[in-house]
Amino acid sequence: MLQGGSWFFSMAILIIPTCLANDLWQCICDGPGCTQDTCRGRKCFVTIENADGFTKQTKGCFSEHLMEQCKSTVQGTATTKCCDADMCNGNLTIHQAEPDPPAKKQLQLILIPLLVILLLLLLVTVYFCRARWHHRKRLLTRLHELGDTDMLKASIVGDSTLGDLLDDYCTTGSGSGLPFLVQRTVARQITLVECVGFIASDMTSRNSSTQLWLITHYHESGSLYEYLQRTTVDPEGCLWLALSIICGLVHLHVEIFGTQGKPAIAHRDLKSRNILVKKNKQCCIADLGLAVMHSQTSDYLDIGNNPRVGTKRYMAPEVLDETIRTDSFESYKQTDVWAFGLVLWEIARRTVINGMVEEYKPPFFDVVPSDPSFEDMKKVVCTDQQRPRIPNNWHSDTIVSALAKIMKECWYQSPSARLTALRIKKTLHKLNSPVNNFKEEC
């Protein structure tokens, strides 16, 4: 019995240490604290650390007191993974996401707010476009519902229908761009108050629309704008056209006293479309719809509510940036001189010099769109202070070279520095040319 009991006791002693030893695993160890190739611990681990663009792998074992580090999570730049088996960290792998490079992170920080801003702008644009579309739809519906009598009543009591339509649809000011419906609407709201010139007027109906007619002298060459597109001139013909225009402008600008007199007039919309070419190739100024009058006796000046009127392409700098002296009649005469310089440039461009001539182009054709906005013209004329280009070959002809000098003196940024219409007329008369016989008719 004693021997049997001793055998049992000795077996128990051998078994217990073996079980305690199995709680510690033998692991591969290659870290800084390793003294041998292996170590024993409660857990085997593998750690991957990213630092300064390099990846470092460490293997070892954890004791009981370091068990909280044995997690398959990212802590800063290190990732740790553990296992329970002898030498299990030899083949243990960690799938770690590549960290974003600094440049990529910076790009993300820039792009995300930018995309949010673009999205907001898109939403705002869509909102305003829909609002504008609904506004126009309401206006058109209202026009269809109103009859002739109602429309006339609306204009009498000051309804804003006409003004709204013109604000929505007007472009260059020539009237040619208005939709057919709007032209009908305008005609229905016009009443002839007083005949101030021309030959006659009439009202007719065509295709269910009302048309108001103004009958004037017929000039078969049409406007100067149309004439220059199909016709070239020689230097003498260029001077003839220029002199006839400036004579008309002087006549407008000067007040004539007496029973057959007239007040001084500033045109405010001088351009090649508003100048007619007669059969004898003289020009006459037309379309005084935006003109203002001034008399020294009454010193009265009526310009309406908006001083920034006319055709944007021909507007002077002080009109575009709204620095014009609205209480001074001289200011409006100076804007006419600016526009005359541009018309003179249009004529000179179609003048044959040494067998060379350029195709017709409107002023500033190379720097603004075909229908420029106020901001387009303001940037070119006021901010950049650009002017139409003067070709070098213009200086090879005495007449055209003199006209180029006049143009530049019409385009001074300061209105007071520009030539007067009367000074331009006198300068053109002094040119040594057969056209000088025209002065008796001017």
Which residues are tagged catalytic? 269
Q: Phi and psi dihedrals of 392, rounded to 5?
A: -65, -35
Give 196's contacts (C-beta < 8 A, 6+ positions apart).
Answer: none
Beta carbons within 10 angstroms of residue 131's beta carbon:
10
- Within 216-288, strands assigned E span 264-266, 275-277, 283-285
What DSSP character marks residue 105?
Answer: H
The residue among 88, 90, 92 whose CA lies nearest residue 79 is: 92
Alpha carbon distance 369, 27 (integer Å): 79
Give 147's contacts (C-beta < 8 A, 6+ positions apart).
Answer: none
What DSSP character marks residue 101?
Answer: P
The residue among 360, 393, 345, 365 whose CA lies nearest residue 245 is: 345
Distances (CA, A) of 293 to 250, 261, 265, 268: 14, 13, 5, 11
The residue among 281, 280, 284, 274 whose CA lies nearest residue 245 is: 284
Please write down the long-range contacts of 275-279, taking CB distance under 8 Å and 24 or more positions apart. Answer: 275/223, 275/224, 275/225, 275/245, 275/343, 276/219, 276/221, 276/222, 276/223, 276/224, 277/219, 277/221, 277/222, 277/223, 277/224, 277/227, 277/241, 278/219, 278/221, 279/219, 279/220, 279/221
Packing angle between helix 102-145 and helix 161-169, nearest 10 degrees? 140
